[in-house]
Amino acid sequence: MSPTDVTGVPSAVEILQRLIRIDTSNPPGNERECALWLKSFLDDHGVANQILHPPEAPHRTSVVARVAGRGEAPPLLLQGHMDVVSVHGQRWSHEPFSGDIADGCVWGRGAVDMKGGLTMMLHALISAQRSEQPPPGDLILAAVADEELGGRQGAAYLVTEHPHIFESVKHAFGEIGGFTVHIRGQRFYPIMVAEKHICRIRVTFLGDGGHGSQIHSDTAMSRAARALRRMERRHPPFKIVDATRAMLEGMMGALGAREAVALRMALNPATTGMALAMMGDKVAKMLEPMFRDTISPTIISGGQQENAIPSEVQVLLDCRLLPGSSQSDIVRQVMSLVGDNAEIYVERYEDGPPTVDMTLMPYLADLIETADPGSKAIPYMVAGGTDAKWFHHIGIDTYGFTPMRLPADLDLMALFHAADERIPIDALNFGTALMHKAIYNYRG
Ligand SMILES: [Zn+2]
């Protein structure tokens, strides 16, 4: 009997439908209903669990559950978020909180980000509890609140206030990874091993104010405009970090000679730009953030009165840094772009790990490549951020591992946060089976 067939455990499809039907849109991120449902579901299956929330935010509830192992491996963390992004302003062909089944898929907000992945984890956890054979090490499930808005009330709260729960954990499985990406007829499975870290910088451009009826040059506004233009043309330099190198080297062996030449060129910062241009817009757009720190203006404000020239204009920059890049690196870059007459203030800086752990990569690659023969698993760095950063604070390395075998015509990344989010039932079952295997063969 395979551990996927443990009797009395609802199917992955049923679990996912239940999760989708609880609206956990963040904001406001009222995860409590979902957490309470999870608690009773875990109770029903005899899994020890507790619900936790910051004292000032009783509705931002997370659930932590634990299944005892045989003591032959360190405890393994399965971490997933319950909250989802809003569906506001989107047109859906199926009601987004229905969990409808159509065209071989389960539809709804969170189907891929990430109630689908959470379902795989839950199914594996409950099956392990009910199975006659315990897993090699303890299994810990952290179903958390607030990931979509930064995780402060979810994962960050757990690791700061309840770190003892995660004692001795070295590795976690989390979101973003293990799904098929089809490139030139080859099936790749990126597994997230690293993410960029965030620096938010406020730039205040200064200039002379005055009356709107007069002729002005070199105002705060025109200085901001020139700087914004420069940001579009001049980018931080290319850097090759370990995770990117490992990803490209993995791809090289699996693609044709022509593609391999471009990938090799990309690994030399002097020719990265040329290589990206050779790869075409779609691939370049996906890969470029892995080669450089990025600076993106996101909010601009200035001027209050329609007939007065403002003497200050503020621009907020959303900067994303590669592992190993520091706050002073990015501040230097920003200074070179904004010119004189501008003040720089770092509003938020999240330190990231300087190097990337990839020790579990061969293990996960082997599982995936065995489950989908002829495919290739590669390490991957996400341009955005996930809860992995919070768990890293207590020494846990997260691998993006919610496996899904997908057909070539389904672009999973395009479904994240989008209308008509859905997951093929085959992919959900593929991931659930592989999750079981991954936890039962894990040895640390
Ligand atoms: Zn997510």
Burial class of residue 328 (count of CB atoms within 10 Å of its CB; 0-12, 13-18, 19+): exposed
Percent of the chain at pLDDT > 70 equals 99
Q: How many angstroms does the Cα of residue 23 sit away from the middle of ligand 1?
A: 15
Tens-digit pLDDT profile for residues 210-236:
999 999 989 999 999 999 999 999 999
Question: CA nearest 422: which of 434, 438, 404?
Answer: 404
Question: Has residue 44 been placed in a domain?
Answer: yes
Residues 159 and 236 in one domain: no
User: Strand, coil or helix: what is 145?
Assistant: coil
Q: How many domains does the chain have?
A: 2
139 with 287, same domain?
no
Whether 327 is in a domain gets the answer yes
User: Assign residue 150 a region: left if phi > 0, alpha if psi is -120 to 50, beta otherwise?
Assistant: left
Q: What are residue 200's DSSP bridge partners?
A: 318, 348
Pairing of strands 312-321, 210-211: unpaired
Instruction: Give residue-wise pLDDT tens across range 236-260.
Output: 999 999 999 999 999 998 888 888 8
Q: Which of 294, 321, 349 is the last residue of a domain?
A: 349
If one counts every other C-beta atom within 10 angstroms of the C-beta of residue 250, the result is 21
Whether residues 132 and 255 fall in one domain? no
CA of 417 to the centre of ligand 1 (A): 9
Which of 298, 329, 349 is at the close of a domain? 349
Got the DSSP string for 130-142?
HSSS--SS-EEEE
Range of the domain at 315: 195-349
The per-residue pLDDT for 3 is 46
Q: Residue 347 is inside which H or E element, if any? A: strand 342-349
Cα(401) to ligand 1 centroid in Å equals 12
Are 144 and 285 in the same domain?
no
Query: What separation in Å is there between the alpha carbon of 16 and the centre of ligand 1?
Result: 15
Closest of 290, 294, 288, 286 to residue 199, by C-alpha: 294
16 within some domain: yes
Residues 249 and 126 in one domain: no
Residues 168, 215, single domain; the answer is: no
Statement to judge: residues 237 and 318 lie in one domain: yes
Share of the chain above pLDDT 90, in %: 86
Distance 202 CA to ligand 1 centre (A): 27
Q: Do 170 and 254 sit in the same domain of this protein?
A: no
Question: Does residue 341 sit in the same domain as residue 424?
Answer: no
Whether 363 maps to a domain, the answer reads: no
SS3 286: helix
pLDDT of the residue at 6: 64
Cis peptide before 274 (omega within 30 of 0): no
224 domain residue, yes or no? yes
- 3-state helix, strand, coil split of the chain in percent (to 5) is 35, 25, 40
Last residue of a domain, one of 331, 349, 367: 349
Cα of 121 vs centre of ligand 1, distance in Å, is 14
Structural domain includes residue 261: yes
Q: Is 385 helix (H, G, I), strand (E, B) or coil?
A: coil
Rounded to whole angstroms, the Cα distance separating 69 from 99 reads 33
182 located within any domain: no
Q: What predicted TM-score, i.e. pTM, was given to this entire model? A: 0.90
Residue ranges of the chain with per-residue pLDDT less than 70: 1-6
pLDDT at 30: 86
pLDDT for 184: 84
Angle at 196 between CA 193 and CA 201, to 5 degrees: 165
Residue 208 lies in a domain: yes
Euclidean distance between CA atoms 380 and 255, whole angstroms: 17
Q: How far is the CA of 86 from the centre of ligand 1 (A)?
A: 12
Distance, in Å, from the CA atom of 22 to the CA atom of 180, rounded to the nearest integer, reads 28
Q: Both 7 and 154 in a single domain? A: yes
Q: What residues are paired with 81 via a beta bridge?
A: 144
For 392, the token pair is: 């890293």
Question: Which residues 6+ apart lie within 8 Å of 187 measured at CB?
Answer: 180, 181, 372, 374, 375, 376
Residue 134's domain is classified under what CATH number?
3.40.630.10
Contact 405, 430 (CB under 8 A): yes
Question: 286: domain CATH number?
Answer: 3.30.70.360
- pLDDT number for residue 257: 86
Looking at the structure, do residues 97 and 230 belong to the same domain, yes or no?
no
Co-location of 166 and 60 in the same domain: yes
